[in-house]
Amino acid sequence: SALANLTPNDFDFDEHAPTVTLAARFNKSRKLKVQPLPADVATALRDYLHDKPATAPVWGGTWARDHRGAEMLRGDLAAAGIPYA
C-alpha cells in the first residue's frame, strides 16, 4: 500500500542523486524513508510522471486496496519474460 500512496511530488529527479520519499505515515516503521533511485529508473519515471498531476497517485486503481499487488507484479514480470522468483 505504500506504493499506492506515492504521488509525483514524492519524486526528486536531481541529476546527481534522484530519490523517492515515502512519508512516515505510509511506512511500516513510521519513519520517513528516502530511497535513492538508479539513474535509468529515474529517467523512466521522469518520463512516465511528466504529465501526471503532482498530487494524484502515481499508480491508480484498486490493486492495493484489493491486495492484488503481487498478482499484478507477477503478470507484468511474465509479460516482460522475467521469471518470478
Q: Over the stretch 18-33, which tens digit does the pLDDT of each residue have? A: 999 998 888 788 889 9
pTM of the model: 0.77
Specify the higher pLDDT residue, 8 or 66.
8
d(CA 62, CA 28): 20
Confirm if 8 and 56 have CB atoms less than 8 A apart. yes
Q: Over the stretch 34-55, which tens digit does the pLDDT of each residue have? A: 999 999 999 999 999 999 999 9
Return all residues near 24 (Cβ < 8 A) that are at least 6 apart: 30, 31, 32, 33
Task: Report the mean per-residue pLDDT for the chain.
Answer: 90
